[in-house]
Homo-oligomer: A and B are copies of this chain.
Amino acid sequence: MWFLRLNMTDRSYKVEEVPEKYRQLGGRGLTSTLVYDEVDPMCHPLGPNNKLALAPGLLTGTMAPTSSRLSVGAKSPLTGGIKESNAGSSWAPAMAKMRIKAIIVEGQPEDKSYWTVKISLEDGDNGKPKAEFFPADKYVGRDLYEVFPEVYEEFGDKVHLSAIGTAGEFGYGNSGIAFNDMRKEPNRYSGRGGLGAVMGSKGLKLMVLDDKGAPGVEYADKELFKQGAKKMREALTSHAVTKPKGGLNTYGTAILINILNEAGGLPTRNFRDGRFEGAAQIAGEAIFENNKAITGEEIYNHGCSPGCIIQCSNTVYDEDGEEIVSCVEYESDWALGADCGIEDLDTIAELVKLCNAYGLDTIETGVSVGVAMDSGVIPFGDGEGALDLVEQMGKGTPLGRVLGGGAAMVGKAYGNPRIPAVKGQAMPAYEPRAVKGIGVTYATTPMGADHTAGYTIAPEILNVGGESDPLASEEAKADLSRAFQDTTALIDTVGHCLFIAFAILDIPSGFEGMVDEINGMLGTEMSGDEAVAMGAEILERERDFNLKAGFTKEDDRLPEFMKIEPLPPHNVTADLSDEVMDKVFGK
C-alpha cells in the first residue's frame, strides 16, 4: 500500500510505503489525519503550505456493496477549518485496486501554470504508482463537459478523471472537484468547502488515473469479509428506502422534497419559509412522472459508481426527451429550486448542469443565489436571472466572483445579515429551526453547515433508526447529533455511501455486516462500539484541527437571524441554548 506525494512546486513525485499508523485508516479518517498531521492549521488555504489529500475508503474497491466513496481533504478556503468532501465515482475503487492509499498534493508552481498529472502503475508485479505531468493550458478556462471528452481522447477512455472547473481556477470558496460518472461525464463532485480552489492553487487542473495492471485489494480474512458484505447486501436490498425500485431507486434523493415540505422544514426563499408552494413540481415524484410522460417508460435510477446496489442517480429530460443533466440530487433541487423560489424543473436541471460545467458546489451556489435574491440583486423565482448569475460565476465576472465566494460573501457584499451559514459554509436543505437536531449538526460539525455530517433527519423526519420530534427543543438533540456524527465519521472512513445508514439503522444485521467487513479487511476483532469509537476519534481530531486554526465554541452557533426571526408555518426560532450546542463536544 502506497502514499503517492505530488510536489507541484517542481512537478516531482514520491512513493512511500504507508506508515504503520495510517494502515487501519481510509477515506475521511485518513484524509483528516493526514491534514491534521501535516498541514499547519494557521496556513492560508490557497498558499503553498496547504495540502490536498485524496483517499478511497477502507472498504473501497472490495466486493462490499455501495462502497465506492472517495474522501478529499484539506484546509478549506470556505470555512478556514478542516474539510472532508466525499464523492462517489469510479475513481475511488480504481485507486484502491492500485493499492494507492492516498494521493497527497503539495506545494504550488511559482508561475501559476496549470498541469495534468497522470497516475499509473510501473510495469511488473505489485507495480509502484508513478506520476507524469503534462501542461494543461488547453483545458484552462473551459466548460468541463467539453474538456472531459478531450481528456479521454488524450489519455484513452479507460482512465478515471478528476478535474477542477473555472471555479477552482478562480480560487472560489465555492469550488468543487469533479469526477467522472459512469457515462464519463463530469457529474460527480467533492463539492463542498472550496477544495477545487485548493487543487487550483496547486496548479493542478486535472488528474488522470489509469488503473491498468492494478493488483486489486487485499483482504486479511476474506471469508469474514464476504459474510459481512452478504449481510450488508441483504439489508440494502430489503429496506424500503434502498432496495431495487425502492424509494431512492425510483425517485432519487429528491424524494425528500415533499417530505420536508410537509414537515415545514424545506427552506424556501433564502430560509424565509419552511414550505414552498412549488414543492410538488420539483419533487422526485415529479421527476419520475415527467420522465415517464416524456419517454413513455418508467425510468429507474442508475448508480454513480461501480458496485452500487442502491442506484439513486436520476436523469432529467426536457420535453423533447433530450437529457438535460444527470443527476439532480435533492440538495441541488432544493438549493437551486425552493431556496431561490424557482419551481421550474428544467431550469433547475440546467442550473445543475452549469454548476457541473464550471466546477461549482450546487448547495453553496443555490444558497448564494438565494442570498443575492434576498438582497435584491434579482427577484426570487427568476430562473433566467439565476442562470445568468451562475454563468457569471463560471466566467468570473465581478458579480460572479461575489457569488463564487459563497453565501457568506454575498451577504457581506450586500450588507445582508440573513446568511444561512455556519463557519462560512451554506446550510443544506433542512431548516434548523424546524428540525432541531440537524441544527445541532450544522452548528457543531467541524465541517461547517453540513447535513451529511450527522444526519438526524433519519429519526427526526423519516422515522429511521428511532423517532425524535423534530420540533422539540431538548437537550437530547445534542447526544442525537453526536451519535450520528460519530457513526458518520466511521461510514465516511470505511467508504460506504452514507445511504447505507437507512438500512443499517433499521436492520441490525446490516450494521453487523459492516463491522464484519471492517474486521475481514483489517484482520481486527473490533466490536460495533469500537468501530463507532474510531469514528468518534476521527471527529475529535477534526475538531482539534479547527481549535488550532482559531475556532472556538462561538463558531458552533446558528446565525443570529434564525434566533430572532420565526419561521413559518410552525413559527419557530432557533431556540436551542448554547449549552446544548456545547454538549456535543463537551466532556
Measured CB to CB, the nearest residue on chain B to A554 is B550
> Do residues A415 and B44 form an inter-chain contact, with CB atoms below 8 A?
no
Copies of this protein in the assembly total: 2
Binds B, one of A318-326, A394-402, A439-447: A394-402
Q: Which of A128-183 contact B (CB under 8 A)?
A: 170-173
Please indicate the chain B residues that have their CB under 8 angstroms from the CB of A171 in the complex: 412, 414-416
Measured CB to CB, the nearest residue on chain B to A549 is B554
A275 CA / B402 CA spacing, docked (Å) = 33
Binds B, one of A281-289, A359-367, A524-532, A559-567: A559-567
Measured CB to CB, the nearest residue on chain B to A108 is B417
The residue among A41, A413, A560 with the most chain B CB atoms within 10 A of its own CB is A413
A582 CA / B548 CA spacing, docked (Å) = 14
> Do residues A413 and B405 form an inter-chain contact, with CB atoms below 8 A?
yes
Q: Which of A392-437 contact B (CB under 8 A)?
A: 397-399, 401-402, 404-405, 409, 412-417
Name A48's contact: one of B47, B554, B564 (CB within 8 Å).
Answer: B564
A413 CA / B553 CA spacing, docked (Å) = 27
Given the interface contacts A402-B413, A416-B171, does A554 sit within 8 Å of B548 by beta carbon? Answer: yes
Measured CB to CB, the nearest residue on chain B to A556 is B550
Name A173's contact: one of B401, B404, B412, B551 (CB within 8 Å).
Answer: B412
Please indicate the chain B residues that have their CB under 8 angstroms from the CB of A401 in the complex: 398, 402, 413-414
Given the interface contacts A402-B413, A404-B413, A415-B200, does A550 sit within 8 Å of B555 by beta carbon? Answer: yes
Is the CB of A477 closer than 8 A to any CB of chain B?
no
Is the CB of A295 closer than 8 A to any CB of chain B?
no
Is the CB of A49 closer than 8 A to any CB of chain B?
yes
Is the CB of A43 closer than 8 A to any CB of chain B?
yes
> Do residues B560 and A49 form an inter-chain contact, with CB atoms below 8 A?
yes
A429 CA / B461 CA spacing, docked (Å) = 56
> Do residues B415 and A560 form an inter-chain contact, with CB atoms below 8 A?
no
Q: How far is the CB of A320 from chain B (nearest CB, A)?
A: 35
Q: How far is the CB of A45 from chain B (nearest CB, A)?
A: 8
A45 CA / B42 CA spacing, docked (Å) = 25
Measured CB to CB, the nearest residue on chain B to A167 is B415
Is the CB of A482 closer than 8 A to any CB of chain B?
no
Is the CB of A201 closer than 8 A to any CB of chain B?
yes
Measured CB to CB, the nearest residue on chain B to A408 is B412
A404 CA / B414 CA spacing, docked (Å) = 10
Q: How far is the CB of A172 from chain B (nearest CB, A)?
A: 7
Please indicate the chain B residues that have their CB under 8 angstroms from the CB of A413 in the complex: 398, 401-402, 404-405, 409
Is the CB of A46 closer than 8 A to any CB of chain B?
yes
Is the CB of A557 closer than 8 A to any CB of chain B?
yes
Measured CB to CB, the nearest residue on chain B to A47 is B417
Please indicate the chain B residues that have their CB under 8 angstroms from the CB of A49 in the complex: 560, 564
Is the CB of A197 closer than 8 A to any CB of chain B?
yes
Q: How far is the CB of A562 from chain B (nearest CB, A)?
A: 11
Name A550's contact: one of B47, B548, B552, B564 (CB within 8 Å).
Answer: B552
Given the interface contacts A170-B415, A171-B415, A415-B170, does A560 sit within 8 Å of B43 by beta carbon? Answer: yes
Contact with B along A52-87 (1 / 0, CB 8 A): 000000000000000000000000010000000000
Name A44's contact: one of B200, B404, B549, B560 (CB within 8 Å).
Answer: B560
A43 CA / B45 CA spacing, docked (Å) = 27
A287 CA / B397 CA spacing, docked (Å) = 39
> Do residues B550 and A42 form an inter-chain contact, with CB atoms below 8 A?
no
Q: How far is the CB of A177 from chain B (nearest CB, A)?
A: 15
A402 CA / B552 CA spacing, docked (Å) = 28
A417 CA / B171 CA spacing, docked (Å) = 10
Please indicate the chain B residues that have their CB under 8 angstroms from the CB of A402 in the complex: 398, 401-402, 413
Given the interface contacts A47-B561, A552-B550, A552-B552, does A412 sit within 8 Å of B409 by beta carbon? Answer: yes
Measured CB to CB, the nearest residue on chain B to A397 is B398
Measured CB to CB, the nearest residue on chain B to A48 is B564
Q: Which of A488-521 contact B (CB under 8 A)?
A: none
> Do residues A560 and B412 form an inter-chain contact, with CB atoms below 8 A?
no
Please indicate the chain B residues that have their CB under 8 angstroms from the CB of A46 in the complex: 415-417
Please indicate the chain B residues that have their CB under 8 angstroms from the CB of A548 in the complex: 554
A397 CA / B377 CA spacing, docked (Å) = 11
A409 CA / B561 CA spacing, docked (Å) = 22
> Do residues B555 and A415 form an inter-chain contact, with CB atoms below 8 A?
no
Please indicate the chain B residues that have their CB under 8 angstroms from the CB of A48 in the complex: 564
Given the interface contacts A552-B552, A554-B548, A561-B47, does A197 sit within 8 Å of B398 by beta carbon? Answer: no
Name A42's contact: one of B44, B172, B560 (CB within 8 Å).
Answer: B560
Task: Identify the A interface with B (CB < 8 A).
Answer: 41-49, 77, 170-173, 197, 200-201, 397-399, 401-402, 404-405, 409, 412-417, 548-555, 557, 559-561, 564
A170-B415, A401-B413, A405-B412 are known; give 6 further A-B pairs, CB within 8 A: A44-B560, A46-B417, A49-B560, A398-B402, A401-B402, A550-B554
A selection of 6 A-B contacts at a CB cut-off of 8 Å is A44-B561, A45-B417, A171-B416, A402-B402, A409-B409, A551-B552
Ranked 7 nearest A-B pairs via Cβ: A171-B415, A550-B554, A398-B399, A398-B398, A44-B417, A401-B413, A47-B417
